[in-house]
Amino acid sequence: MKNNKTLYLTQGAAVAALYVALTYLAAAMGLASGDVQFRLSEALTILPCFFPAAIPGLVIGCLLANTLTGCVIWDVVFGTVATLLGALGTRALRKNRWLACLPPIVSNMVIVPFVLRYAYGVPGTIPFMMLTVGIGEVVCCGILGQLLYTALDKQRGRIKFLEDK
Q: How far are the Cα atoms of 10, 16, 48, 80 from residue 59, in angstroms, in the given order? A: 15, 8, 11, 6
Over residues 92-107, the pLDDT tens digits come to 999 999 999 999 999 9
Instruction: State the sign of the Cα–Cα–Cα–Cα dihedral 13, 35, 104, 29.
Output: negative
Over residues 108-159, the pLDDT tens digits come to 999 999 999 999 999 999 999 999 999 999 999 999 999 999 999 888 777 6
Region 69-95 average pLDDT: 96
Residue 34, Cβ neighbours under 10 Å: how many?
Answer: 15
Question: What is the model's pTM?
Answer: 0.91
Q: How many angstroms separate the CA atoms of 145 and 152, rounded?
A: 10
Q: How many angstroms separate the CA atoms of 118 and 151, rounded?
A: 39
* Contact criterion met (CB below 8 Å) for 82 and 111: yes
